[in-house]
Structure 1
Amino acid sequence: MSRPVTVGVDGSPGGVAAAEWAARESALRGVPLRIVYAEQRPGAATIRHSNPEARRRWAEELLTEAVEAVRQEHPSLEIETRHLSGEPAEVLAHEAAEAALLVLGSRGLGGVRGFLLGSVGMATISVTERPVVLVRAPGRLDAPNRAALAAPSRAVVVGVDLDRFFGPLLDFAFGEAAVRGEQVLALHGWSIPPVVRDASALVRAEREMGPDIARRLTEGLRPWRQKFPSVDLVERPCVGGPAQLLLHAAEGADLVVVGRRVRRGSLGTHIGSVTHAVIHHCAAPVAVIAHE
C-alpha cells in the first residue's frame, strides 16, 4: 500500500495552507491524503474545566472543514481523517512514520519578513526522521516576496554541502522535481580564505578556487543527473553564506530542501544554523530532510 501524505491541522491559517499544499502533493504522487488533528490532553489543572464533548465536536468540525476545502480543488482525492489525543509532536511524529512525508503549517509575522515555526513544529521535526514540509500561511508579505510568489520559478532549490553526505537531500529534491516536471537548482555556498583582504586578491582567489569547486559540485551531482535524466539540473556554486544564498534563490521557488543531522546519542537532534535560518525566514515551502 502506498504511503499517504499526512498533514497536521489545528484550525490556524497555517494549517489550512498546509492542507492545501498536502492535497496537491498527494494528487501529484497519486497517493491518499491523511488529515490529522492532534488534541493535547488536558492537564491536571484544566481537566475539571474541560468539556470532552465540546472538544470532540470542535475537532470533528475542524476536520470536516479541512476535507471540504481540499475537495474543492481535488474532488476525486482519497482522504482519511484522524482525531488523535496526546502530545501533538509525538502524535504527529508517530503518524509521520507511516507517511511518505508530513506537512505542517507555519505562523506568519505580519509585516516582518519571516515567520515562526512554533514549538510543535520544531519539536515534531526533532523527533521524526521522515521528510517534513513546512508551509507558510498566506499573509502580508513585503514587495519582493509578493512579486516572487506571483511568478514562481518552477524550481526545487536544494543546498549542497560538499563536505558532508547530502544523498538524502538530493534523493528528495530530484524526486519532487520529477513528479512536478520542474528543474533542480543545486546551490553550494563557499567562502574566500579570511587572509584575502583587498579587492584584487579577492578576485584572484575566486578565479583560482572557483573552477575546482565547480568541478567538485558537478562530480558530486553526477549520480543524480544519471538517475533522473528527465530533470533539468542547474548547478550554482557561489561565494557567500549558504543561508542567504538559499533564501535569495527561494524567492519564487516551489520548494526549498534543507537537511538536519540525526544524532543517536544523548545530545539529541541537531538543526544547524543554515536550516534554522531557512525554516524561519523562507516564504516558499521548506522540506526538512533528516540525514546521518
Structure 2
Amino acid sequence: MRIGTLGNGLMAEALARHWAREHEVMIGGRDPGRASELAGRIGSQAGTLQEATIFGDVLLLALPAEVAVDAVRGLEIPPGRILIDCTNAIDQQDFTLAEPAMAERIARAVPHVHVVKAFNLAADSVWKRPPDGLGVPLCGDDPAAVTRVGQLISDLGCTPVPAGGLGRGKLLEATAALAIGIWVTGGDVRRMFPPLDAAFGSVRPGQPEAPDREEEIGAGPAEAAEVGPRRRRVGVVEAHENAGCADEAEQHHHSGDQAAPAQPS
C-alpha cells in the first residue's frame, strides 16, 4: 500500500513509522526541511503536501484541525483516494468541541475522496507503542475504504472497531473531548464502561424479545433463557396429560353408551 501523510508532526511520525515497515510511505509537509528530516528518521520518502496526495493511495490528514479543511480544499487530490482524518477540534480551555463534525466538514470540502475517521482517541505517544489489541474505532461511508484503514490499524497490532458511517464520526470527536477532559483531571475513562457481556439489560437494543409468560417479565436474560425452555417442556407434558385424560374420558363415555348385557332369567 502507498501512504502519503499530509503533515510531518508528531501524529504523522508515530503512525508512519509503523507503516513504513510494511508499506511505501511519503511524508508530505508544509515545511520541506522538516518533512525530509522525518522521512530520514523512519526510512521513507519526503515531498510537499501535493506530492504526497499524488503518491498515496491512502492519505493521513495529520494537520492541526484549524487548518485542515482549508488545506485539503487547496490540494488537487485525485478522485477515489482514501483520506484518514485523525483531527480533533477541541477547545483547550474547557475540553469541549470547538468545531463539531470535523470529519463531515472535511468530506464536504473534498467530496470525491473517501474520508474515514480514525486514530483520534489517543495521543501520538500512544501510537508510538500502542498496547497489543487496542481497539481503534473508525467511521466511514465506503466499505472498501473502511476495510483498508482497518488493515492499517491491524498493522499497528491494534484491533479495528467499525463504528458506523461517517456521520457517526462526530461521536468519536465528542468522545475524544470527553475523554481528554477526564484524563487531565486524573480520571480513568476505562472504568466508565462495563464488559461486553454486561453491556446490555434484559433486551438488546433493536432486538426485542417477548417473555414466554407474563410472570417472566423483569427476569434477566439468563433467567428468561432458562425459564422459557422449562415452560415449553412443562407445556408439552401438560398437553400429553390432558390428551390422555381426554382419551380416558372418551373411552368411559363410549362404554356407557353400549347396552348392558342381558341378565339370565
- Normalising by structure 1, we get a TM-score of 0.38
- Normalising by structure 2, we get a TM-score of 0.41
Larger radius of gyration: 2
- Higher relative contact order at CA 8 Å, sep ≥6: structure 1 or structure 2? 1
